[in-house]
Amino acid sequence: MRTSNKSRSRNKNNNRRQNPGNVINRVFDSSGPEGRVRGTPQQIIDKYQSLASDAMLAGDRIAHENFLQHSEHYSRLLVVAQKELDAKREQQQKQHENRSINNAGKEEQQLDTTAQGEAEISETIETIETIETQKNESLDDKPEQKNKRRQVKQNIEIVRENPSKIRDEDKAET
């Protein structure tokens, strides 16, 4: 059997969160002694206060007091909502300050890390330069070794160019 549309819409509403949201901007329906009053809490407060003053001018003290009580109820709602909003805003400011402090600390750590990395790089460069300088000095001190290396390289090049001549010379020597 098929269910009606009314039950379907009720099921959909049950699945949703029932979060009233911001009370300050929320529209309320108030069923007061003079009928229905609709609006935000501030609008309802103003309406009940104007009805209370009209009742006082008409000489009806009981209606006057009743309207003031209705106005006071919405005033309390509004005060509580404003306190919650202020507390939430203060909490967000604290979180923002904590984040900015944490970010500043991270930036300092990054700068320290960068400075350490640059120092390590400069030390490595100095070490390489020292090794190259020592190598050049050792080569300058021993020109004979330098000449021997050149001769070996030349011999290797000759062997690569003419391997058959070398074999012929080896055979002639034996």
Across 164-174, b (16+ Cβ under 10 Å) vs e yields eeeeeeeeeee
Q: pLDDT value at position 43?
A: 92
Tokens 């000449």, residue?
Answer: 147
Q: Find the range with the poorest average confidence among 40-44, 81-85, 90-94, 150-154.
A: 150-154
H or E segment to which residue 54 belongs: helix 41-58
The Cα 136–Cα 140 span in angstroms is 6
The Cα 81–Cα 89 span in angstroms is 12
**Over the stretch 142-155, which tens digit does the pLDDT of each residue have?**
556 556 667 766 76
The Cα 174–Cα 120 span in angstroms is 61
- Could you tell me how many residues make up the chain? 174
If DSSP codes are grouped into helix, strand and coil, which group holds residue 25?
coil
Name which residue leads in pLDDT, 132 or 54. 54
Residue 170 has pLDDT above 80, yes or no: no
Question: What is the mean pLDDT of the segment spanning 20-49?
Answer: 81
Q: Domain ranges in the chain?
A: 19-141, 143-173
The Cα 147–Cα 155 span in angstroms is 12
Question: What is the mean pLDDT of the segment spanning 104-120?
Answer: 72
Phi, psi of 28 (to 5 degrees): -110, 155
Question: What is the mean pLDDT of the segment spanning 3-27?
Answer: 58
Q: pLDDT value at position 144?
A: 61
Q: pLDDT value at position 172?
A: 63
The Cα 161–Cα 119 span in angstroms is 50
Taking all residues of the chain, what is their mean pLDDT, rounded to a whole number?
Answer: 76
Here the tokens at position 55 are 């009742």
CB 44 within 8 A of CB 24: no
What confidence category does residue 128 fall into, taking pLDDT thresholds of 50, 70 and 90? confident
Question: What is the mean pLDDT of the segment spanning 83-92?
Answer: 91
Tokens 């404003």, residue?
Answer: 82
Q: pLDDT value at position 1?
A: 45
Name which residue leads in pLDDT, 173 or 27. 27
pTM check: above 0.75: no
